[in-house]
Amino acid sequence: MDYTEIMVRYGELSTKGKNRRLFISQLSHNVKKSLHEFTNVKIRADRDRMHLILNGADSQQVMEQLRPIFGIQSFSPVIRVKKSPEVIQETALEMVSEIWKPGMTFKVQSRRSDKAFVWDSNDMNREVGSAIYNGIEGIEVKMIQPDIRMEVEVRQEAAYLSCLTVQGPGGLPVGSSGRGMLMLSGGIDSPVAGYLAMKRGVEIEAVHFYSPPYTSEQSLHKAQQLAVKLTPYVGSIQFITVPFAEIQEEIKRCTPSGYWMTITRRFMLRLSDRIREQRGGLAIINGESLGQVASQTMQSMAAINDVTTTPIIRPVITMDKSEIIEIAEKIDTFELAIQPFEDCCTVFAPPEPKTKPKLEKVVQYEERLDVEALIERSLAGLSIQEIKTNDVYLNQSIIEMDDLL
Ligand code: ATP
Ligand code: MG
């Protein structure tokens, strides 16, 4: 069918009172960015709905682009026709015929703001309903929970028809909750954490700690490729690579192995926080899940968290591994995350990390290090790149080759 516009329903936005205007303008901005290739499409954002006037653009392709945009509750492709009873009946029949399958029921739901139109909404329900009923053999009417809901709206300028509703991802428009730094490793949990934070409107920048020569370039590429998987929700993501080898060497040289993990994490958090400050972020996001590993006991988290008062968002903190994996599969990061390229934590993993580190001891051991100088040197070596949806850092053939070796 030649749809003329896509009607977008806002999600939670409608309940957000004063912030509503901000949310709507953020959502328009995100939709515009995601549709930048469709130069014909015009966006009109009203209080309750957004209208994308297609002007000849392919409705399927436009709808594909809308699918991952947070803040969209649902959307419907719409056909605009002139306000003629016959044209409305014919078009409605054609639209329902296209999606009807034997056994499906329908209902017509009409509204008219043009009170001068020949039919009132009851007439319209009846007249359009009989056109469909008589036109499709075997179709039945059902008032409650029909399979197909044919919506007809007659306004001053034209009539609008739609009978298909596609669920959007819900959530809040990315950017409406401010910016946060996502600590992105190459694992399963942190990409899921990033996805969930974006769903609540956080614009993320990825921070990745990289320890060459102890970790391979492939481990970096894996994290970059995971960032690629998160871009459909935002268009692009800033990826910040943080040199971390010197810090890990120093920790290993100067402190007892039971405390390496806690001290390493404290450095990661300090660095993430400094980067956040530089880049105007308000929070840090990570993939910690309570009790999953030694660094994620309450005692460990308390000792690590001690280096900052910045809010830390831990979207997967209470989830079981299987629940996290379910989301990772849905957002297609799981296969990539289980590739065995080691990251900086595994290389320096101590044989027996403390699961209940004592803060006084941590602080005491850290005094053996020149914390500030180490941080400054690492920050001096940051590299920042923009990651886009079509980028390839780790392709399938490398993954398969690795499987063979
Ligand atoms: P993930 O699956 O996300 O790697 P994990 O269960 O392996 O998590 P840890 O390795 O203990 O857990 O890491 C906890 C969190 O610390 C990660 O979710 C991530 O947010 C952050 N983190 C760990 N390693 C790195 C790294 N190399 N770069 C950036 N962040 C990291
Ligand atoms: Mg990890």
* Domain boundary assignment for the chain: 5-167, 179-402
Nearest listed ligand to the Cα of residue 244: 1
Give yes or no for residue 344 CB within 6 A of ligand 1: yes
Q: Judge whether 5-167 and 179-402 match in fold.
A: no
> Ligand 2 being an ion, which residues bring their Cβ within 5 A of it?
185, 187
Give yes or no for residue 265 CB within 6 A of ligand 1: no
Give yes or no for residue 301 CB within 6 A of ligand 1: no
DSSP string covering 231-274, please? GGGTSEEEEEEEE-HHHHHHHHHHS-GGGHHHHHHHHHHHHHHH
CATH class entry, domain 5-167: alpha beta
* pLDDT tens, N- to C-terminus, the chain (405 residues): 789 999 999 987 555 677 888 899 999 999 999 999 999 999 999 888 999 999 999 999 999 999 999 999 999 999 999 999 999 999 999 999 999 999 999 999 999 999 999 999 999 999 999 999 999 999 999 999 999 999 999 999 999 999 999 999 999 999 999 999 999 999 999 999 999 999 999 999 999 999 999 999 999 999 999 999 999 999 899 999 999 999 999 999 999 999 999 999 999 999 999 999 999 999 999 999 998 877 789 999 999 999 999 999 999 999 999 999 999 999 999 999 999 887 766 667 777 888 899 999 999 999 999 999 999 999 999 999 999 988 999 875 555 555 555
Is the CB of residue 204 less than 8 Å from the CB of residue 285?
yes
Residue nearest to atom 6 of ligand 1 (CA): 189
Question: Which fold is adopted by the domain 179-402?
Answer: Rossmann fold (3.40.50)
Residue 183, strand partner residues: 207
Q: Determine which helix (DSSP H) or strand (DSSP E) holds 205, and give its type and residue range.
A: strand 203-210
pLDDT value of residue 396? 59
Side chain identity at residue 285, one-letter code: I
Nearest Cα to 341, choosing from 240, 210, 204?
210
87's CB contacts (< 8 A; 6+ apart) are: 81, 159
3-state helix, strand, coil in the chain (%, to 5): 45, 20, 35
Give yes or no for residue 192 CB within 6 A of ligand 1: no
Nearest listed ligand to the Cα of residue 337: 1
pLDDT value of residue 366? 97
CA of 192 to the centre of ligand 2 (A): 12
Choice from 181, 182, 183 to test ligand 1 binding pocket (greatest atom count within 8 A of CB): 183
11's CB contacts (< 8 A; 6+ apart) are: 71, 72, 73, 168, 170, 171, 172
Give yes or no for residue 292 CB within 6 A of ligand 1: yes
Give yes or no for residue 255 CB within 6 A of ligand 1: no
Task: Point out the annotated binding site.
Answer: 183-184, 208-209, 265, 287, 296
DSSP string covering 289-321, please? -TTSSGGGSHHHHHHHHTT--S-EE-TTTT--H
Give the C-alpha separation, 124 to 154, whole Å. Answer: 10
Atom of ligand 1 nearest to the CA of 293: 11
Q: How many CB atoms lie within 10 A of CB 321?
A: 13
Residue nearest to atom 10 of ligand 1 (CA): 345
Q: Determine which helix (DSSP H) or strand (DSSP E) holds 22, and give its type and residue range.
A: helix 20-34
Nearest Cα to 315, choosing from 192, 223, 226, 205?
192
Give yes or no for residue 219 CB within 6 A of ligand 1: no
pLDDT value of residue 18? 73
Identify the DSSP state of 151.
E
Give the C-alpha separation, 290 to 302, whole Å. Answer: 12
Give yes or no for residue 299 CB within 6 A of ligand 1: no
CA of 164 to the centre of ligand 2 (A): 42
Give the C-alpha separation, 89 to 93, whole Å. Answer: 6
Atom of ligand 1 nearest to the CA of 190: 3
Residue nearest to atom 20 of ligand 1 (CA): 286
CA of 186 to the centre of ligand 2 (A): 6
Asked if the peptide bond before residue 169 counts as cis, ω within 30 degrees of 0, the response is: no
Side chain identity at residue 360, one-letter code: E
Whole-structure pTM value: 0.89
DSSP string covering 334-363, please? HHHHTS----HHHHT--SS--SS--HHHHH
